């Protein structure tokens, strides 16, 4: 299992803040595609991604037991 943590608008779109994905190994890019198809999450190309609290890129691999966080940009004033 891969645990996916969602924040801000992604959390609202999915209706939950945590997803458990039954995947063995996948790249971040492919995981984004999977999430867009299954949960219709938008704007995943514009979010920061972390694997086990380390920032990651689309080519980085996620394996079973990893925790992946999708963190949208934050604005404020």
Task: List the CATH number of the domain containing 11.
Answer: 3.10.20.30
Q: Is the pLDDT of residue 77 over 80?
A: no
Domain of 36? Answer: 2-71
Summarize pLDDT for 39-76 with one digit per residue, the tens. Answer: 988 789 889 999 999 999 999 999 999 999 999 987 66
Q: Which of 31, 18, 20, 19 is nearest to 58 (CA)?
A: 31
Q: Is 39 contained in some domain?
A: yes
Q: Is 36 contained in some domain?
A: yes
> How many structural domains comprise the chain?
1
Q: Is 77 contained in some domain?
A: no
Q: Which residue bears the tokens 């458990």?
A: 20
Quote the pTM value. Answer: 0.91
Mean pLDDT of the chain: 93
Q: Is the pLDDT of residue 24 over 80?
A: yes
CA dihedral (40, 45, 47, 49) in degrees, to 10, reads 100
Residues with Cβ within 8 Å of 73's Cβ and at least 6 positions away in sequence, in order, are 46, 47, 48
Q: Is 12 contained in some domain?
A: yes
Q: Is 76 contained in some domain?
A: no
Q: Is 53 contained in some domain?
A: yes
pLDDT at 20: 96
Q: Is 40 contained in some domain?
A: yes
């Amino acid at each position: 299992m891969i645990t996916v943590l969602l924040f801000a608008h992604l959390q609202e779109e999915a209706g939950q803040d945590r997803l458990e994905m039954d995947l063995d190994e996948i790249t971040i890019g492919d995981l984004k595609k999977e999430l867009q198809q299954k949960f219709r999450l938008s704007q995943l190309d514009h979010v920061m991604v972390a694997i086990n609290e380390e920032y990651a890129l689309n080519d980085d691999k996620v394996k079973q037991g990893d925790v992946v966080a999708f963190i949208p940009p934050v604005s404020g004033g």
